[in-house]
Amino acid sequence: MSAVSFPVPSGDLSRAQVREFRVPAIPVTVLTYRRPRYLAMTLDSFALQHAAILSSFSFRALVHGGRHWPTEKILEQRASLIPSVEVIDDNPGGGVGFSRLMAAVIQEEAPYVLHLEDDWLSAESLEPYMGEILDFMAAHREVGQIRLRDVRSPVSKVNPFTKKEIVWQPATEHIKVGNAHFTFNPAITRASILPQIVPCKSEREACIKYTRLNLLCGQLQAGCFGHIGAEKAGRMAE
C-alpha cells in the first residue's frame, strides 16, 4: 500500500511543528442499494472535489440487492475509480453492509477509513484538512472518529446513548471534539477500533459498542459532505 502525504497547517494546536503527515492510501468504502442516480452523484462529486488528491484514496464498493443493471452501469463507467466491487443478492441492511466493508479494511491493515453511503454529496474538498485530521487523530487516541458532515447541518444536541448533552470543545483550527455518538458516515474512523465495533446488525448496535469504549468524536468545521437522499434512513431503492 503506497504512502501519501498531507500538509498540516500551522494553526494545528496539537503538533504545530509538523508540516507533513504521511499515511497509506485511505480506504473509501461505499455502500449502495439500487439508487444509481444518487450513487453517480456521490462518486462524481467526490472525484471532482478531490481530483488533486484522488490517488490518496483507494475505493471499495458493496452492492446490496443483487444484479441491477443501472447500478452496474454506473460502477462499470467508474471502474478506474472503484476497481473493487462486491455484489450480494439480498439487502441485509446498513449495519451488515458496513460490517462487511469494515472486515475488508481490517484485513488491509489501513490506519483509517472513510465510509460513505450512496447519498452523500461532496460539496468541499477534504484536501485542506486531511493533514490536520490525521495528525490530530495520531496524537489523540481518545478520539475514535472525525465526522465530516457539513457542520451547518442540524444534529441532535443530546447523545441518545448516554442521554447527556453534547459539549463540543475546540481542539485544532478546524476540529472540535465532543461526547457525541458514533456514526457510520460520512466520517474518518480509526481502523484499530473496528474489531470492537463490527460485526453489527445496525448503526444503533455500532453506537452502543462505541459508547462502551468511552471514545470521543470529532467534528470537522467545514462543509465537506451534504445529504442528498430524499428518503429517510430506510434507504428506499429507485
**Number of Cβ within a 10 Å radius of residue 51:** 10
Q: How far apart are CA 207 and CA 184, in angstroms?
A: 9
Specify the range with the lowest mean pLDDT, choosing from 21-35, 111-125, 126-140, 211-225: 21-35
35 lies in a domain? Answer: yes
Give the CATH number for residue 104. 3.90.550.10
pLDDT in tens, 149-158: 999 998 899 9
Provide the domain count of the chain: 1
Q: Is the pLDDT of residue 236 over 70?
A: no
Closest CA to 120 of 231, 39, 222: 39
User: Domain containing 88: what range?
Assistant: 6-227
**pTM for the full model?**
0.89
SS3 category, 69: helix
Task: Return mean pLDDT, the chain.
Answer: 90
pLDDT in tens, 103-146: 999 999 899 999 999 999 999 999 999 999 999 999 999 999 99
98 lies in a domain? Answer: yes
Average pLDDT of the residues in 57-86: 96
236 lies in a domain? Answer: no
237 lies in a domain? Answer: no
238 lies in a domain? Answer: no
Average pLDDT of the residues in 206-224: 98
| pLDDT score of 4 | 61
Q: Which three cell numbers stand for residue 68?
A: 441491477
1 lies in a domain? Answer: no
Q: Is the pLDDT of residue 10 over 70?
A: no
211 lies in a domain? Answer: yes
Q: How far apart are CA 28 and CA 186, in angstroms?
A: 10
Task: Please answer whether residues 151 and 40 qualify as being in contact, where contact means their C-beta atoms are separated by less than 8 angstroms.
Answer: no
